[in-house]
Structure formats: C-alpha cells, structure tokens
Amino acid sequence: MLILCRRTWLHSTFFNSYAAPIRYLRTRPSDATAASLTTPELLRKLKQSTHLASGPSNATRVQQLYLYRHLRFADRNALGRLALDEFLVIIQHSAAKRLPDTLNNAVADLLDFCSDASQSAVLHRILVSDATPYLRPPILLRILKGIQNSPDATEPLSVDDMRTLIRTFFGSDTSSADKELAQIITPLLLECLHGLPRPHGDFVFSYKPPLLIKSVFLYIEKLLRLDDQALVLKLFQFLVNTAIIPPEAVQTIPGFTDFGSIVRSSLARACTYWRWCTLAKRFLVPLIESHPTKEAKSLVVDSMYAMLPGAKKPDLVACLSLIKQLHEHGPVPHGLFRQFYDAAVEAKAGAEAQALYAFSRSDKVRESHEYPCPRGRPLPWLVIYLLRGHSLLAKELANEIVMGNIPIAVEHRSHLVSYLASSGHAILARTLWSRFAIGKDRNFFVGDSSLILRTLSLFQSLIHRAETLLARDPKNEVIRGQLEDKKEFAAFILDAYIQANEPLQEAPHSALSSLARCYFIAGRYMDGFETVKILLARKDLPDLYDVNIVLGAIAGHDPREAVKVLKRMKERGLQPDGVSYGTVIHRAIERGDHALVSELAEEVRNSPAGQLTHKGMVALIRGTLEDSVDNQLTQRAKLKSVWRMMSVLPTESLVGSTDMGKLVVRASVRAQDPVMAYRFWDLLLRHKTRWTDIEQIGLRKGIAMSLEKHREMGWAGERACRIMIGVLSRKE
C-alpha cells in the first residue's frame, strides 16, 4: 500500500511539473498511475510531446516515454492511433535513454499497429539506428524477416552497421530465436565480408584485419554454442580461403576430434597471429576446460609465449587469466612467468605484475607448486612498485632476494636499497647493503648520494628511538646492545660513502651537498659546516637544496632561529619550498612547539610555492599522535585534524608503508573513536595488506569491537555501524 501511494504521488507530481526522474522509467507502471488519466488524455499528451516545433528537452523526452508506457499499460490497442513517425521518435528516445524494455515494446507495437511498418525502408532505418544494440533476439528477428520478405530493395548494411548487428546477436542472452536469426544474418555477413580488403601480394605484410573480423570470430563462437556446424563451416572456409585465418593456424591436434574444438583451436591460433590476446582467451579457455590434455595445455602455453612479447596491459590481463586457468590443471612453465614480468616492465603494468606475484604466493597455489619470483630487471622494478602501495608483498619479495641470494644488476642495487630504507624496512635494507657493498662495484654502490641519505636517515631514526627507550630503562642491556649496533652501522656506511668520494676537494657538488646533509642528520654539525666550507671555497653557487641542508641543521638546534632564516630567504628573493617548511615543522614538533607548528602550517597554506612534502606531513602526523594526552576529546580533535591533513595528500603518498596506517588506527581506537579508526583503516590498510595477516586481523577485531560497543550505547548510527562491522568481519 505504501509503495502504491508513493507511485501515485510521484505520478501526480510528474504531471504537474512535466518532469520525472529517469529511474521511474525502469519500473513497471501500476494500476493507480495508469488510471489517473483517461486513455484519450494519455494519447493526446503523447502526441503533443512527439510533435514539438523545436528539439525536445530532456524533461520532455522523459515525459514522452512515461506517457507511452502508461498508455501501453492502460490500453495497448490505443497505440494503433499513433503515426509511424511518432513511434520512431519514441524508439529514438528510448535508445538515447538506454531503456531496452521500452524500446523493444515500442518496436513490437510499431510492427503490430502500423501498416507502413512492413516497408523495408522503415525497418532498415531502425536496423541502422542507435536502437540496434538494445534489440532483443525476437524483435530483431521480426525486423530482419520483414526486410527479407519485403518486395522493396534496400541498401546493404555498411561494415559498421553489420558489426553492430552481429555484436548485438552474440552479446544477447540465449533465445529460441537465435538459430533462425543466424540463418538470416550469416548470408548478410558473408556478403559484407566479400567487400573487405584481403591480405594478398605485398599487402600481406602490412595487412591488418578490420574490426569487423574480430566480431566475426565472436559470432562464430556463438554459432558453435548453438551447434550450427553448417553456418560455422561457411564462415570458417571463407576466412581460411581469404587467409584471414592463416594456413599455419589450421592444424590437427591429437585428442581434438570434435568439430567445435578444431574450429576453436584454429581461431585461437589466428587470434595469436593477429595479436588479439583478449579474443584468443575466449577460445582457449573452453578448450582447456573441455580438454585438459597435454596437447591443449601446449596450445595455451605456445599462444602465450607468442602473445607476451610487446604485450599491452589488456593483453597481460588476458594472459594472467590464462595462467590462473592453466594452473588448475597442472604447473605452469616457469618461463611464462619470467616472460610475463618482462612484458609487464615494458608495458609499465605494475598492477598486472603485482597480481601475478600475489597469485603465485597465495597459500592455495603454494600448496601445489612453487613458482619463481621475477629475475633481472623486473625484480627491483616490482619491489619498488610494491613499496609504493603494497608493503607486505614488497617485504615478501625482498625477503626472497635475501634468502635466495638472487643477483641484482649493479645499476639497480642502490635504487632498490634506497626504496627499502625510505619505506622503513631496516633489516632488509641493511642486509642488502652489506651484500652489495663488497666486490669490484663497491664504490659505485656505497657512493650513491640517495642511498646514503635514505639509509642513514632510517638508522638515525632507529638510534633516536632506542635512545628514548634506554632513557626510560637504563639497565636494559638488550636495548643498549641494539643501540650500539645501530650506531656502528650508521658510522660505517657514512665512512664508506666518504671513502668512495675521496678526495673531497674534487668530489662533485651533489656528493658534497649530500655529505653535509648526512653530517647534520648524524648530529655532527661542525663536520657538516666544514663540508659546506669546501663548497664555498670552490666558489660553487649554493642552490635551494644546499640552503635547505643548512636550514635543517639550524632547525635541529633551534626551530625559531630557522624561521628567521626562512624570512631572510624571502627577503632576498629565495622562495622556500615544501622541503624548507617540512624541515622546520619536523624539528618544531620534536621540540613540542605546537604554536610554531600552527604558525608554519598557516604560512604553508598561504604560500603557493610552499606545499608541504609528504615527509613533512608524516612528521606532523606522527608528532601529533605521539604526544601523550590524557583527555580523549583532545585526542579525537587531533585525529580529525590528521584526517583532514591526510585527505589533501595523494593516496599513493600515504601508503608507502603500513606503519603509518597502524599508528593512526590504534590511536583512534585508544581515543574511543572507532568510526575514525575505520576511515583510517579503509584508506591506509584495507587494500594494502594481506587480509589473513595476524596483525591485521587483530586491528580489524579491535575496530569492530569498539564499533559494536558504540552501537549498543547509541553513540553511533545503527545502520552505519552494521555496515562497517560487516566489512571488517567478512572473509576474503
């Protein structure tokens, strides 16, 4: 009753305003709405809407279709009083609004009630219009039969119209009209194919089949499902005779004795020949499912070996699907994995390479077979890609490099270790640094500026953390030993960098700038300033990077003095950048100078050139949350500020490591703000960690329990809490 009243209200509102949302056209009319106007009134309004002097507006089109549907529901016979052009307008607008039910009803009514509808020109007009993709097989059959039986001659369908027609046919659901439709469409298709260019003579090497041929292959696949061998054979023979299916594609395969398998295998080879990977998959999957034999697997493997060189992203998606399908029937050749990763590097298809690696490392796959990780150039490339968005997989792959002693090309070593260090993987970065820092290429590796800066920054951070813990528990010898070990390693890599770039007086400008920054990071300020003096003595002009290095040293001593330097920089025309502000903010947070942090944040917002870097933003977030506060309301307010700050950063810049995600989620749970915890989890952890990871299960459980408590106490909305708990509790 409630639904009936709602529909009646919508109907009356619509006729008062002559507008109705398009979604109401997707529901069946009711007796109440149909009876609200008489049949003559509905017919009169419908005719008026189809005879506008100017082009109809969107609201008028919706009104027209609404009127037509209600008139049809109230008295279908009354539609016989509509003219042919009025029906065609309704069909046109139904296609524009993508309403297949209304469109097919309108075509059926036109065929039933209009005497002129039997004219082939009218039917041909419908067939070549935008309505064709929405025609269902029974209606399409009536149109084609009408054209076929008409004494009037019609123009043959163009290549584009024929492609649309057969795509409509093979894209529709199975229908009782399919076989009869195929009997009519196939001769039309063959006639159209005869007019296409064919590969011959010198044209063979540059020939590229038109898009219609792809549709023909799919059309044949539907005919195979209909078991219409005669029509399949006609098309197949034509394609073979015109060399569109190359001669080498037509080969017998032991065990393939049925007609369908022979045709599918030939079409799959032809698709491979023309490098139609996605289309080839359509034929290979049924073959491997129906004939999981050695010969069928060889066909699939050979096809992928041929398709992977130079493959694009859609091709890689198709090959990934075939690899998964092939694995269900036995191990996939390792060479396919290597070739897939190589192709992914060339196509810059990181997501596809990640998907293959994740598949190969899933528990279900590992139970049956152990597949290799990437080798050569794809290995560091994939680790770096994963570090940007999927830290857990990146750690797993880096562990394989360490445990398997997998070789890495010299030119990729420093880049790989730098990314591991910047993502917080200290053990992996240290292990690989120690491995690569020996041999004839030692200096090339240890003398890399980016490597020393990122690695030293990581270990200085660990040293600072260990010193803080030791200050709380001075008798803890384990922490003391770890602290000494980290200090020794930090000093060792810095000495190695200096030795690789000696003599310093002749070292490049960038090497000296990085060394000065390393000294400041390590707290050796006098050594840092001495290095800067070497640059000045050589009369090298300092750039903004050099100024930021010195600024960082001053900020480490006194952030407010660094702010004065920022002001002097502006006065002299040197505009501070995001690094400048981020450096000072980071030090201000360490000192607990929140007033200065707020002042600088406001200055950053008002400065077009001073956008805060990711490092500065993360420092601000971490400093905010690590400030112990007893008042939960204050902590919640800070968490909301953190959420607002995170919202302005690109997503990829926030997920380089999951540590930040875990930090903010746990802080939110402690502050009794489970909704905010869910938001942080959804943004930073949901799609970037393994669902079955024990730590992640614990985090989700903690959020869900807190949400349930808030729901029971009425502190959060019932429906919203249930949705969030449902997402957190589902099984992957």
**Longest CA–CA separation in the chain, Å:** 104
Question: What residue spans of 361-425 are helical by DSSP H?
Answer: 363-368, 378-389, 391-403, 410-422
pLDDT tens-digit profile of 717-727? 888 888 898 88
pLDDT of residue 585: 75
Q: Does residue 696 fall inside a structural domain?
A: yes
Residue 410 near residue 445 (C-beta atoms within 8 A) = yes
**Alpha-carbon span 652 to 716, nearest angstrom:** 30
pLDDT tens-digit profile of 496-543? 999 999 888 888 988 998 898 898 888 888 888 888 888 888 877 667
pLDDT tens-digit profile of 506-518? 889 889 988 988 9
Highest mean pLDDT among 51-55, 106-110, 563-567, 665-669: 106-110
8-state DSSP, 308: S
Residue 107 near residue 131 (C-beta atoms within 8 A) = yes
pLDDT of residue 2: 45
pLDDT of residue 36: 58
**Alpha-carbon span 477 to 53, nearest angstrom:** 92
Those residues with Cβ within 8 angstroms of residue 434's Cβ, 6 or more apart along the chain or in another chain: none
Those residues with Cβ within 8 angstroms of residue 390's Cβ, 6 or more apart along the chain or in another chain: 354, 688, 689
Based on the structure, what is the number of domains in the chain? Answer: 1
Between 67-71, 139-143, 183-187, 361-365, the lowest mean confidence (pLDDT) is in 67-71
Q: Does residue 665 fall inside a structural domain?
A: yes
Q: Does residue 698 fall inside a structural domain?
A: yes
DSSP string, 172-204: SPP-TTHHHHHHHHHHHHHHHHHTS----GGGG
Calculate mean pLDDT across residues 688-716.
84
Please give the structure tokens belonging to residue 593: 């100078």
**What is the number of residues in the chain?**
732
**Alpha-carbon span 304 to 152, nearest angstrom:** 50
Residue 306 near residue 266 (C-beta atoms within 8 A) = no
pLDDT of residue 28: 53
Q: Is the predicted pLDDT of residue 587 greater than 70, yes or no?
A: yes
Calculate mean pLDDT across residues 211-232.
92
Q: Does residue 719 fall inside a structural domain?
A: yes
Residue 102 near residue 59 (C-beta atoms within 8 A) = no
pLDDT of residue 12: 45
Mean pLDDT of the chain: 83
**b vs e for 185-205, b when ≥16 Cβ sit within 10 Å of the residue's Cβ?**
bbebbeebbeeeeeeeeeeee
Q: Is the predicted pLDDT of residue 233 greater than 80, yes or no?
A: yes
**Alpha-carbon span 544 to 542, nearest angstrom:** 7
**Alpha-carbon span 454 to 380, nearest angstrom:** 17
Q: Is the predicted pLDDT of residue 74 greater than 90, yes or no?
A: no
Q: Does residue 672 fall inside a structural domain?
A: yes
pLDDT of residue 550: 77
Residue 552 near residue 585 (C-beta atoms within 8 A) = no
8-state DSSP, 654: T
Confidence of residue 609 (pLDDT cuts 50, 70, 90): low
Q: Does residue 36 fall inside a structural domain?
A: no
**Alpha-carbon span 599 to 435, nearest angstrom:** 46
Share of the chain above pLDDT 70, in %: 83
pLDDT of residue 181: 93
Calculate mean pLDDT across residues 153-159.
81
Look up the domain containing 690 and give its range.
Answer: 652-732
95, 277, 419 from 492: Cα distances, Å = 72, 52, 20
pLDDT of residue 13: 40
Cis peptide bond upstream of 133, omega within 30: no
Calculate mean pLDDT across residues 200-205.
66
Q: Does residue 538 fall inside a structural domain?
A: no
pLDDT tens-digit profile of 270-280? 999 999 999 99
Highest mean pLDDT among 24-28, 217-221, 250-254, 639-643: 217-221
Q: Does residue 716 fall inside a structural domain?
A: yes
Q: Is the predicted pLDDT of residue 358 greater than 50, yes or no?
A: yes
Those residues with Cβ within 8 angstroms of residue 408's Cβ, 6 or more apart along the chain or in another chain: 379, 380, 401, 416, 436
Please give the structure tokens belonging to residue 616: 């500065």
pLDDT tens-digit profile of 330-347? 999 999 999 999 999 999
Q: Which of 140, 202, 203, 150 is nearest to 172 (CA)?
A: 140
**Alpha-carbon span 227 to 259, nearest angstrom:** 9
CA torsion through residues 37, 41, 42, 46, sign: negative
pLDDT of residue 644: 63
**Alpha-carbon span 119 to 116, nearest angstrom:** 6
pLDDT tens-digit profile of 394-403? 899 999 999 9
Q: Is the predicted pLDDT of residue 42 greater than 60, yes or no?
A: yes
Please give the structure tokens belonging to residue 122: 């009218």
Between 67-76, 288-297, 428-437, 545-554, the lowest mean confidence (pLDDT) is in 545-554
Q: Which of 70, 120, 64 is nearest to 87 (CA)?
A: 64
pLDDT of residue 608: 59
Confidence of residue 32 (pLDDT cuts 50, 70, 90): very low
8-state DSSP, 287: H
pLDDT tens-digit profile of 381-435? 999 999 887 878 989 999 999 998 999 999 999 999 999 998 889 999 999 999 9
